[in-house]
Amino acid sequence: MKSLLFLLIATFWFGCSNSNSTQTSTYISSEEINFEVDTLATGLDHPWGMAFLPDGRILIAERPGRLSIWEDGQLSDSPVSGLPEIWVRGQGGLLDVELHPDYENNQMIYLAFAKQGDDGGSTAIARGRLTGNELQDTEVIFHARPHTGAGHHFGSRIVFDDHGYLYTTLGDRGVMQTSQDLSSHNGAIIRLYDDGSVPQDNPFAGEEEGLPEIWSYGHRNIQGMKLHPETRELWAVEHGPKGGDEINRIHKGGNYGWPEVTHGVNYDGTVITPDTTKPGMIDPILHWTPSIAPCGMDFVDSDLYQGWEGNMMVAALANHHIHRVVFSDTTVVHTEKLLEGMARFRTVEQGPDGYLYVLTESPGLFFRIVPR
């Protein structure tokens, strides 16, 4: 459907970009394909994550603590009830939503959210059984420590791998040195069983030097993570400070360097470290300076997008665009900005129907990209 908002966006876009069609066309031209923005919902409040239910409904996590349902072409008036108590503070709130790999049999969904605890709060993971519009038997299965009163760098993404392990990203909570402290969850990716227990083959399980849940560390604030559709490896995009945003391929036990190495500087321009690489620390596959503020991302493996196959799509808050990244094996060979200036892009995800679905904030939109 075409909303008035889309028509305003289209008027702006077609007046400012090259197009092989007239001003009144609904086609947007990119380097490889023409496409159309199909607006599905407006008026969302800081939408952060989405999950696709087998019955065609789509769950949308909104940061102030609302888990909305998109069904029958519109947002339902009845959001999901039964959520855990959510600590809404700064960048914290209800963040990501993901289905259990065996959802069709167990109806379990997982939430990443900010949870209050002693002396502040931190990122937590809860799960519950979705029955209609209600989450039942809700339980918190993980709560990162230490807690802090800071309102930023919560991380947030949830990914299940092909073996049913659950991965979650955790920001450094604004205390950068904690990313190198293995007695802290902050600045790490953690790996759990689906009930929150710890796999004994985690790199620090049974070791004195680190928390058993940690899978990788030295991260600043990862807000995008997915499995590669072919290699099935875990990839992530990470916020740097002023400059130094990163794409990383995640390795077991890997140290990704923050804040010992970075391509960025403090927001006031002062130097964090002169080092951009060190022995024993993993260099990014790509870094962005100036920052694009990368958030949710996904790989394109749908045959609907001829010319975008294998590309990474990254939602970018800065410069308000989707960043298309082209690879040759694991080397970045080209990038393109799509829909620049439209909105602050929070996440992009390929749905089970093969279309790319997008959430933005300021304004809060939900749309899909339809090739033409």
Annotated catalytic residues are 153
Rg (the chain; Cα; Å): 20
Question: What φ, ψ does residue 42 adopt, rounded to 5°?
Answer: -125, 170
3-state DSSP of the chain: CCCHHHHHHHHHHHHHCCCCCCCCCCCEECCCCEEEEEEEECCCCCEEEEEECCCCCEEEEECCCEEEEEECCEECCCCCECCCCCCCECCECEEEEEECCCHHHHCEEEEEEEEEECCEEEEEEEEEEEECCEEEEEEEEEECCCCECCCCCCCCCEEECCCCCEEEECCCCCCHHHHHCCCCCCCCEEEECCCCCCCCCCCCCCCCCCCCCEEEECCCCEEEEEECCCCCCEEEEECCCECCEEEEECCCCCECCCCCCCCCECCCCCCCCCCCCCCCCCCCCEEECCCCCEEEEEECCCCCCCCCCCCEEEEECCCCEEEEEEEECCEEEEEEEECCCCCEEEEEEECCCCCEEEEEECCCEEEEEEEC
Phi, then psi, of 7 in degrees rounded to 5: -65, -40
